[in-house]
Structure 1
Amino acid sequence: MREVPAELITETVARLAIEATHFLPEDVEGAIRAARQTERSPLAVQIIDEILENAQVARERMLPLCQDTGTAVVILEIGQDVHITGGYVIDAVNEGIRRGYSEGYLRKSIAARPFSARVNTGDNTPGVIHTEIVPGDRIKVMFMPKGGGCENMSRYQNFLPGMGKQAVIDFVCETVDMSGGNPCPPLVIGVGVGGTAEKAMTMAKHALFRKIGERSPDPEVAELEQELLQAVNELGVGPQAVGGSTTALDVFVETYPTHITALPVAVNIQCHSARTKQAVI
């Protein structure tokens, strides 16, 4: 049994919060640069150039990539041979969020009572925290500051099982088309298919942590990802919805076995500022 102090989790989350909000991942920036070379619309190219300039300014001047520094989404993959000492793991994560958003001078966006007073909690806590027990003696910490504009475009629907793959493609395309410029395209799109309602939504969010160009190890799912990416880009929404051939940088799909009566499909959209950071403790 390996002991991990709760304070180390706190320090890691705080660091990831600052890094994620200031530094665009290399794979995302690389995909945006590649899209500039293939984009057909002059106005879309101008938007892409502004996105790249924004990433450079954020990196060089240590400024947030976007004023919306989001809901702090944290996924913990905790090895079954780990014993966390010195505090409760959820408290440790929230303290890391609190420190990161304070030390990084990041906007606090969390309203304590969602349907009434909506008073700001003042420190961007509590985070949305998912935990999973996995083999081993390490803890993988995945951090995503999820902006409101893209998160608000999330959708879920349960289709008749016989509707199959085409229902998934049509639903994803419909979701992107309806979203327009709200999620700040070009997008990274996570799709969860199968399980139950909450499982599908969780898979769609989890999929967003993959690197651009990383295909599913399942050949059938990988083929669906490619079909979805092509179909979404054929919509012509384009960067910031000004039109163009670059609506999405990538589409990631996760699947899970489901009940014979169901075909659950969830879509979670990430904006062009696809901010994620990971660390292993």
Structure 2
Amino acid sequence: MMEVENICASLYVRALKLLPPDIKAGLNDLLQDETSATGKTILGVMVENIAVAERTNNILCQDTGIPIYNIIIGHNVGFDGAELKSAIRRGCARATRENSLRSSVVHPITRKNEQTSCGVRVPIIHVDFDEREETVSIEMIPKGSGSENGSFLKMLLPSDGVAAAKRFVVDRVIELGGRVCPPTIVGVGLGGTSDLCMHLAKIASTRPLRSVCPDEEGAKIEVELSAAINELGIGPQGLGGRSTSFAVHVEIAATHITQNPVAVNIQCHSARRARAAITPGGIAFS
């Protein structure tokens, strides 16, 4: 498990310093389409910040976030689950100590900070499975507080319909304004139970740009809400313009006949994530 520990430590640092290519491209697209002079200026500063971070080997944002590790295990892979969890925690703590990162994780009552980016049930670890042979992928997401505070859940009734869910999303974006460091990715969860719906919204907000909801009806809502939100005039950092959001992403799950839950989770313009795939042929970072 030393290999997993090393990967998890490297991914944390990589995610904090290197913005994914799709987000860089998204910022450039918004810069081309922005009609507000102020909006263009702010987007330009964001692009420069990314370049400076890479040039100086520095982190993109002072908020090192709540560390999230998403593990996807394929066919014919054997892991000791308890040791996997321990290796992820060790890697997270090592990255924090060895790179003098600000630990943003505290006890919710005492507010004690262990200075390791770890705590009770943190880092957050999600494990899923897919059809790939002899492959394990590890994704690290440092979820910043500013955007994570833009999280909402509403247990609508079926009679409220899809229109009420869309209205809930738009109203929350208006309510948040510039507090979530736009341009954002607006993650929307539809269906499931209350906890699953919130998890779906987090999956949606951390999906790569230009990815599309695999459900046809969910994909339609993505297009509709993406257009609507960029007509609100909130703009970069809430100072006006068309670039309020890179996109709205939707994830869905089946739900109960008497429920119609909707959840929102926001990702800020510094949409950080890093991935590694472990195969018999070696380790590939992306």
TM-score by length of 1: 0.93
Residues 115-141 of structure 1 show CA distances to partners (whole Å, capped at 9, x for unaligned) of x21100211013111112434432221
What amino acid sits opposite 2:171 in the alignment? E
- Aligned residue in 2 for 1:219: 216
Range that drifts further, 229-238 or 77-86: 77-86
* Shift in Å, 1:85: 5.0
8 Å contact 1:108–1:120 — kept in the other structure? yes
In structure 2, distance between residues paired with 1:24 and 1:48? 15
Paired residue total: 274
Structure 2: runs of 5+ lacking an equivalent: 279-286
In structure 2, distance between residues paired with 1:279 and 1:208? 20
- Aligned residue in 1 for 2:89: 94
In structure 2, distance between residues paired with 1:86 and 1:141? 14
Structure 1 runs (4+) deviating above 4 angstroms are none
Q: Does 1:205 align with 2:205?
A: no
In structure 1, distance between residues paired with 2:176 and 2:205? 18
Q: Does 1:32 align with 2:27?
A: yes
Q: Does 1:8 align with 2:13?
A: no
State the secondary structure of the residue aligned to 2:125.
strand
State the secondary structure of the residue aligned to 2:11.
helix
In structure 2, distance between residues paired with 1:81 and 1:263? 38
Where in structure 2 are the equivalents of 1:160-239 lying within 5 Å?
Answer: 160-239=157-236
- Aligned residue in 2 for 1:154: 151
Residues 119-171 of structure 1 show CA distances to partners (whole Å, capped at 9, x for unaligned) of 00211013111112434432221111000011011001110112222122111
- Aligned residue in 2 for 1:49: 44
In structure 1, distance between residues paired with 2:81 and 2:227? 49
- Aligned residue in 2 for 1:118: 111
- Aligned residue in 1 for 2:281: none
In structure 1, distance between residues paired with 2:227 and 2:142? 27
Range that drifts further, 95-104 or 234-243: 95-104
* Shift in Å, 1:87: 6.2
Structure 1: runs of 5+ lacking an equivalent: 1-5
8 Å contact 1:7–1:86 — kept in the other structure? no
In structure 2, distance between residues paired with 1:87 and 1:44? 48
In structure 1, distance between residues paired with 2:201 and 2:215? 16
- Aligned residue in 1 for 2:139: 142
1:127 pairs with 120, 123, 130, which one? 123
What amino acid sits opposite 1:28 in the alignment? I
State the secondary structure of the residue aligned to 1:188.
strand
* Shift in Å, 1:10: 1.1
In structure 1, distance between residues paired with 2:53 and 2:130? 35
* Shift in Å, 1:186: 0.3
State the secondary structure of the residue aligned to 1:83.
coil
In structure 2, distance between residues paired with 1:130 and 1:42? 42
- Aligned residue in 1 for 2:267: 270
State the secondary structure of the residue aligned to 2:52.
helix
In structure 2, distance between residues paired with 1:145 and 1:172? 23
In structure 2, distance between residues paired with 1:85 and 1:157? 38
- Aligned residue in 1 for 2:250: 253
In structure 2, distance between residues paired with 1:209 and 1:86? 25
* Shift in Å, 1:80: 5.2
In structure 2, distance between residues paired with 1:87 and 1:9? 13
* Shift in Å, 1:40: 1.1
State the secondary structure of the residue aligned to 2:78.
strand
In structure 2, distance between residues paired with 1:33 and 1:86? 41
* Shift in Å, 1:105: 2.5
- Aligned residue in 1 for 2:282: none
State the secondary structure of the residue aligned to 1:96.
helix
What amino acid sits opposite 2:95 in the alignment? G
State the secondary structure of the residue aligned to 2:79.
strand
Give the % identical residues: 38
- Aligned residue in 2 for 1:3: none
Where in structure 2 are the equivalents of 1:50-69 lying within 5 Å?
Answer: 50-69=45-64
RMSD across aligned C-alpha pairs, in angstroms? 1.5
